[in-house]
Amino acid sequence: MDIKKIEDGFRLILEGLGENPNREGLLKTPERVAKMYSELLSGLDSKENEKDILATQFVEKYDEMILLKDIPVTSICEHHFLPFTGVAHVAYVPGNRIAGLSKLARAVDFYAHRPQVQERLTTQIAELIHRSLEPQGVGVVMECVHTCMTIRGIKKTGSVMFTSKLIGTFKSNATTRAEFMSLIGKR
């Protein structure tokens, strides 16, 4: 990531807005904004490989649903570069391997911390779990508030966007799907 370039670019935005980037209050703003983007979009700079995220696995005879609910999500909408925030619910029914719960949360952050659309984010999380753990099924549901829709444009404050990606038993088995939806309070 080229921090200097982000700073220069933000200085141009300030100038474009008719502001004086050299006035006291704004002097360090480009630096702060660059730092903020490097944090919010750290996935772009990550040395982490997606294969490593769920690499620590345990063989376990457990064939019921494992659900991590209400995982906080902060991401950046790639169309407006404004944040969208909310929660992800991530569930799977294991094949013969399980992963640590915190690793599921890490998978969410790994994909959230880059320019995103919620639909793709939801799919990427589900597909990573599917590829890495070869479970019987995966379900990911996300509910997020998009500031590009609540503070600008049509200004629909309070509207929440739901997305889901269901794979394997979550898609084919109505009982599994219903259990998932009921556990996350959607039925």
Strand positions, DSSP E, the chain: 57-59, 66-77, 83-93, 97-99, 115-116, 137-146, 161-168
79 is a contact residue toward Zn ion (CB under 5 A): yes
80 is a contact residue toward Zn ion (CB under 5 A): yes
Look up 79 and say whether it is catalytic: yes
Residue number of the CB atom closest to Zn ion: 148
**Which residue, 159 or 172, is less far from Zn ion as judged by CB?**
159
- Residue at token pair 């379900």: 139
Q: CB under 5 A: which stretch of 28-36, 45-53, 59-67, 70-78 binds Zn ion? A: 70-78
Which helix (H) or strand (E) segment holds residue 88: the answer is: strand 83-93
As a whole number of angstroms, the distance between CA 110 and CA 32 comes to 22
In the range 129-158, which residues lie near Zn ion by CB under 5 A?
A: 148
Which residues are marked as active site?
Answer: 77-80, 118, 146, 148
Which positions lie near Zn ion, rule CB under 5 A?
77, 79-80, 148
